[in-house]
Amino acid sequence: MKSTVSLIILAIGIVWQYGQKILNLIGNILDVVNLGDFITDFQLWLVNNPNLSNTYGPWILMGGAAVSLVFVHLMIPLYRRWATDDLSIIFDPADQEGQFGGVGKWHVMGSPDPPLDRYIFRVGVKNNTAKTIYDVTGTVEGEAVDQPFPVALRFSRTRELEGNLDPKRMLLMDMFALPPDQTEWMDGIHEFTVRINGRDTSEVSQEFQLDKTRMPAVYLKS
């Protein structure tokens, strides 16, 4: 709303200062595309038919305003909802292969110590396009990772923080790890968010919840 008001004020100032030059420029453009005579004839028609213009003019303006409101508040959100992002976050804890969660070796980032046995939660990152997406990265933030700042995700196979994703391919990224014994997990419901980015793509994100009393313990936030 504030940006719209600022743009309107800016437009008024430009028209105030350069109004005549703008009109002359529009006139020259119309002459080039052979619309100058048409505009003149239309103006004469409006002068000679004041009742028609007075009757239908307000309805045309109101109809145009209604169409624009529907487009902005309905069509654009619907398009954004149904349009497919270049990247998507996949999570299926019921997967029979156990890709998205299971006990394994957890390499503590930056630590020379041997890997630990941990229950590792993973998320799939899928390329929905027919082209390779470069420099794919991810972060996880929230109570589950017990950090005040986003934590970088690592590709499960290579443990790299950044990678390229081939067309229509999905790769797994490690979100976080907890002790193998589920009774040692934190009590209560804990929320966290995964964010995925790639070169020349928009960020995609997904909110999750962790509750050790549920099965599966990690699930999409409703």
Q: What is the DSSP letter of 73?
A: I
Nearest to 205 by CA among 137, 156, 148, 146: 137
Sorting pLDDT into bands at 50, 70 and 90, what band is 154? Answer: very high
Helices (H), 33-189: 36-48, 50-70, 76-82
CA contacts within 13 A on the Cβ side of 24: 4
Res. 23 pLDDT band, cuts 50 70 90: low
pLDDT per residue as tens digits for the range 155-183: 998 889 999 999 999 999 999 999 999 88
Does position 70 have pLDDT exceeding 80, yes or no? no
The CATH architecture to which 87-220 belongs is Sandwich (2.60)
Tell whether the model's pLDDT for residue 27 goes beyond 90: no
CB 116 within 8 A of CB 184: no
Residues 30-60: pLDDT tens digits? 666 666 676 667 667 666 766 665 666 666 6
DSSP H or E run through 126: strand 116-127
CB 99 within 8 A of CB 122: yes
Model confidence at 76: pLDDT above 60: no
Identify the DSSP state of 72. I
**Cα(126)–Cα(147) distance, integer angstroms:** 26
The per-residue pLDDT for range 80-92, each reduced to its tens digit, is 556 678 999 999 8
pLDDT beyond 90 at 205: yes
Phi then psi for 110, rounded to 5 degrees? 80, 5
Q: Which two tokens stand for residue 119?
A: 């229950």
pLDDT at res. 114: 87
- Contact by Cβ (8 Å): 211, 217: yes
Do 135 and 125 contact (CB within 8 A), yes or no? no
Provide the 10 A C-beta neighbour count for residue 147.
12
Mean pLDDT, the chain, integer? 81
With contact defined as beta carbons under 8 Å apart, do 124 and 100 qualify? yes
Q: Taking a C-beta distance cutoff of 8 angstroms, is the pair 158, 186 a contact?
A: no
Helices and strands (DSSP H and E) totals, the chain: 4, 11
Both structure tokens of 48: 């000679």
pLDDT score, position 52: 61
Residues 89/206, Cβ–Cβ less than 8 Å: yes
Return the domain boundaries, the chain.
2-82, 87-220
